[in-house]
Every structure is written in structure tokens, then in C-alpha cells.
């Protein structure tokens, strides 16, 4: 979507640039990207139809697992989705992020202090009589996004090197802090407040396994691809010929993942629609609060649009793969905690797609290009079309 692949080394002449900037951002998107919400809705409907009308197919999809609670089809979809994005990252430029302590510390605070606290408050405020769903949402809120956030960042034209660095930091903190935060928000804090508590026993190995599968595989693949291909054919060939060829895989992987997610839970969603609505309410509030707050904070800190977008989407996204795996491993596949974990990505995907469009609108509304367009250069689209 919206100009998000590689920076142009030869900016368009001022007259062309001016004409491009005059029209609304969305009108300049390639056809596939412009109607992404339509494709998402079609994929959701197809998945629900499979889950409800062909339960044997859904059962077969669920039976193929590569790890505890991790569906092999979902893994395939996520790898297809993330590999092209991580292959585009210019890893040699990531050192610039290390020196930006302002953004790093802000992101860590949003992800590991504000985010879990906001989800805890919303879960208790909106689900006081549903302990299983409440616990499931808190588990999801503790799992910071390390996968799909790269797609939302890419679609919005965010800084991909910054996003990759923030995802790597979240992965490290997830391994070190997830179990401890789970104890704090499910046992210690409710106890201090005189609220019912819920035990949570999560192994560090389970968390490390999730990080290694969902981030490690595509990250290593993207890094090796760029290193080997640039050494063999040069950066120009790699960025102008190779990347556009693999670009469509990201969109295809996203749609495939949506179909599988909804197929796996189609029966549960259609059987308990009111429960899904109740679980969705705090999630909608959470995504809106976290994304809007982070985007506004990026503006207040004077960050560029690409870095503000990266900050906002990494703050709003959650690692639903880990959340679902923990809920299933601790409470069981048919538990309310597991259902709450599953509803998470079903709400997150359409909401964050909508927030991509909000970000693109905000880019033209609140950010100004530097002379020559240096701050926010035009890029091709995620789908690989030139637009």
C-alpha cells in the first residue's frame, strides 16, 4: 500500500512531485492496495464459510501443527507475509536506530508499561463478570507484536529499519519479561487491588520458541537473501528487479492467513456471537487508544512520519500467536481464555488495516516534506505495482 517499498534514488522533478502531492493519497495507490479492505473482508467471509460449512477442512487445518498451539498453515501464511518485508530491510542502516534513544525508550515504555496496563484496565472495566475472557485478553495484551506489525508498518510507509529494530527489542523483552509480567497482572496486581486472581505458569522455552519461529525464520531468510543477492548481482538489481518480484507474496500471505484464522474459528465465532462482541469491545478500545496515543506522541516528540508510523503500529499490535499458544497450553484449547486469544487477531486485522488509512491521511495532514521530499520519499507499493 501507499508507496512503501524502496526509497527512490532519483526523486521526481519538482513539477511531477507537486502534481503527485496535490491529489489525495489513497487515489495514488495501486489497484490491489487501494481495495485492500475489500480483499480482507472477502478473506474473512471465505474463512467463516469454510469454518462453518466445511468443519472437516477446518479440523484438518488445525491438526497440522508445528509447535504447541501453532498451526502450520498459519505459520506458512505468516512466513509468506513477512519474508518479502524483511528482505527489503536495509540492515546496514539499522545502526542509525541505536543512536535514537528517544524513540527506543519511548517504544519500550509504550510496549511494556503502557500497553499491558491499558489492556488490564479495559479487560476489568468491560469484562468484570467474565474471568476467562478477561484473563485471555490480559495474556494477549502482554504479548507484544513481532510479526504482523511489519506488514502494517510497510503498508503505511513507516520506517522499516526502525520497525525491524523495535521488533527485535520486543522479542528480547518478551523472552525476559513475559512470564514475570503475567504473574504481576494476573496475580500480584489484582491481589493488591482486592480483585480475584488467576494463576499463569508460562515457560521461557515456549516464549523463545514462538519468537524463533515467527520472527527468527523470516528474519534470517531476509538477511541472507539480501546479503547473498547483493553480493552476487548488486544492490540495483536486487532492489529494482528482485524485490518487485517477491513483493506480492506479502499481500498473498496476509490474505491466506486471514482465511485460515477465520476458518479455524468459524464455528466458535458463529456459535457464540455475543461473546465475540463482548471480547471485541475492549480490543477495539485498546487498539484505538494505543495507536492514537503513540501517533500523537510521535508528533509531540517531533519524529518524522516514517518513524511515527513505526512507533504507532509497534505499540498497537500484539503477538497473537504467542497469546493463543499460552492460552491453549495453560488453560486448554476449548477454554474461554483461548477464545479470547483467537478473537484478538480477528479484530486486530481489520482495525489495523483501517488505521493504515488513518496514518496515510495523517501523513498529509500533520507532516510536511523536507525540501526535495527527503523526509518521506515516494516508494512503490506492497503489491509490487508501480502505482
78 in any annotated domain? yes
What local confidence, expressed as pLDDT, does residue 316 receive? 93
6 in any annotated domain? no
For the chain, the three-class secondary structure string (H helix, E strand, C coil) is CCCCCCCCCCCCCHHHHHHHHHCCHHHHCCHHHHCHHHHHHHHHHHHHHHHHHCHHHHHHHHHCEEECCEEHHHHHHHHHHHHHHHHHCCHHHCHHHHCCHHHHHHHHHHHHHHHHHHHHHHHHHHCCCCHHHHHHHHHHHHCECCCCHHHHHHHCCCCHHHHHHHHHHHHHHHHHHHHHHHHHHHHHHHHHCCCCCCCCCCCHHHHHHHHHHHHHHHHHHHHHHHHHHHHHHCHHHHHHHHHHHHCHHHHHHHHHHHHHHHHHHHHHHHHCHHHHHHHHHHHHHHHHHHHHHHHHHHHHHCCCHHHHHHHHHHHHCECHHHHHHHHHHHHCCCCHHHHHHHHHHHHHHHHHHHHHHHHHHHHHHHCCCCHHHCCCCCCCCCCCCCC
Give pTM, 2 decimals.
Answer: 0.73
Could you tell me the CATH number of the domain that includes residue 242?
1.20.1530.20
CB atoms within 10 A of CB 20: 15
Number of domain units in the chain? 1
133 in any annotated domain? yes
Q: Residue 276: give the domain boundaries.
A: 37-373
Under a CB-based contact definition with an 8 Å cutoff, are residues 354 and 361 in contact?
Answer: no
Give CA–CA dist 316/110, Å, rounded: 9
362 in any annotated domain? yes
Give CA–CA dist 6/30, Å, rounded: 15
Give CA–CA dist 361/355, Å, rounded: 10
Give CA–CA dist 76/370, Å, rounded: 40
10 in any annotated domain? no
What local confidence, expressed as pLDDT, does residue 308 receive? 95
In sequence order, which residues have a C-beta less than 8 Å from that of residue 202 and are 6 or more positions away? 178, 179, 182, 326, 329, 330
Residues facing 144 on adjacent strands: 318
266 in any annotated domain? yes
What local confidence, expressed as pLDDT, does residue 60 receive? 80
In sequence order, which residues have a C-beta less than 8 Å from that of residue 27 and are 6 or more positions away? 34
28 in any annotated domain? no
Q: What is the pLDDT along the chain (387 residues), one digit of tens a residue?
A: 433 333 333 333 333 333 334 344 455 555 666 677 788 788 888 988 888 888 787 778 777 777 655 678 878 887 887 788 778 877 776 666 666 788 889 999 999 999 999 999 999 999 998 998 999 899 889 888 766 788 889 889 999 888 888 887 887 787 778 878 888 898 889 889 988 887 666 666 766 776 677 767 888 888 899 899 999 999 899 988 998 888 888 788 878 888 887 787 777 777 778 888 999 999 999 999 999 999 999 999 999 999 999 999 999 988 776 777 677 667 765 678 878 887 887 788 889 889 999 999 999 889 875 444 444 433 444 555 433
23 in any annotated domain? no
Amino acid at each position: 500500500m501507499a508507496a512503501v517499498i524502496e526509497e527512490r534514488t532519483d526523486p521526481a522533478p519538482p513539477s511531477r512531485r507537486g502534481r503527485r502531492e496535490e491529489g489525495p493519497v489513497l487515489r495514488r495507490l495501486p489497484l490491489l492496495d487501494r481495495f485492500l479492505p475489500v480483499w480482507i473482508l472477502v478473506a474473512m467471509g471465505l474463512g467463516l464459510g469454510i469454518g462453518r460449512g466445511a468443519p472437516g477442512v477446518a479440523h484438518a487445518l488445525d491438526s497440522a501443527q508445528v509447535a504447541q498451539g501453532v498451526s502450520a498453515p498459519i505459520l506458512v501464511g505468516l512466513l509468506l507475509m513477512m519474508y518479502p518485508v524483511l528482505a527489503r530491510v536495509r540492515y546496514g542502516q539499522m545502526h542509525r536506530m541505536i543512536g535514537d534513544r528517544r524513540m527506543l525508550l519511548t517504544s519500550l515504555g509504550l510496549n511494556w508499561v503502557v500497553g499491558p496496563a491499558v489492556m488490564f484496565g479495559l479487560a476489568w472495566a468491560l469484562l468484570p463478570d467474565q474471568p476467562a475472557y478477561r484473563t485471555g485478553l490480559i495474556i494477549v495484551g502482554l504479548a507484544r507484536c513481532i510479526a504482523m506489525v511489519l506488514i502494517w508498518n510497510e503498508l503505511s510507509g513507516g520506517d522499516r529499519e526502525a520497525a525491524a529494530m523495535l521488533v527485535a527489542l520486543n522479542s528480547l523483552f518478551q523472552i525476559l519479561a513475559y512470564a514475570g509480567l503475567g504473574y504481576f497482572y494476573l496475580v500480584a496486581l489484582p491481589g493488591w487491588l482486592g480483585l480475584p486472581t488467576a494463576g499463569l505458569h508460562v515457560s521461557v522455552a515456549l516464549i523463545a520458541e514462538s519468537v524463533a519461529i515467527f520472527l527468527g525464520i523470516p528474519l534470517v531468510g531476509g538477511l541472507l537473501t539480501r546479503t547473498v543477492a547483493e553480493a552476487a548481482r548488486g544492490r540495483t538489481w536486487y532492489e529494482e528487479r528482485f524485490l518487485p518480484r517477491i513483493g506480492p507474496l506479502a499481500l498473498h500471505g496476509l490474505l491466506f492467513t486471514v482465511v485460515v484464522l477465520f476458518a479455524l474459528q468459524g464455528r466458535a465465532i458463529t456459535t457464540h456471537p455475543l461473546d465475540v462482541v463482548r471480547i471485541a469491545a475492549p480490543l477495539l478500545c485498546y487498539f484505538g487508544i494505543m495507536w492514537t496515543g503513540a501517533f500523537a506522541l510521535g508528533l509531540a516528540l517531533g519524529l518524522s512520519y516514517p518513524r511515527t508510523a513505526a512507533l504507532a503500529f509497534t505499540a498497537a499490535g500484539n503477538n497473537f500467536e504467542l497469546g493463543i499458544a499460552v492460552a491453549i497450553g495453560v488453560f486448554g484449547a476449548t477454554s474461554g481464555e483461548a477464545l479470547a486469544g483467537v478473537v484478538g487477531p480477528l479484530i486486530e486485522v481489520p482495525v489495523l488495516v483501517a488505521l493504515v488509512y488513518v496514518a496515510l491521511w495523517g501523513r498529509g495532514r500533520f507532516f510536511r516534506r523536507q525540501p526535495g521530499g527527503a523526509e518521506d520519499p515516494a516508494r512503490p507499493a506492497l503489491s509490487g505495482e508501480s502505482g
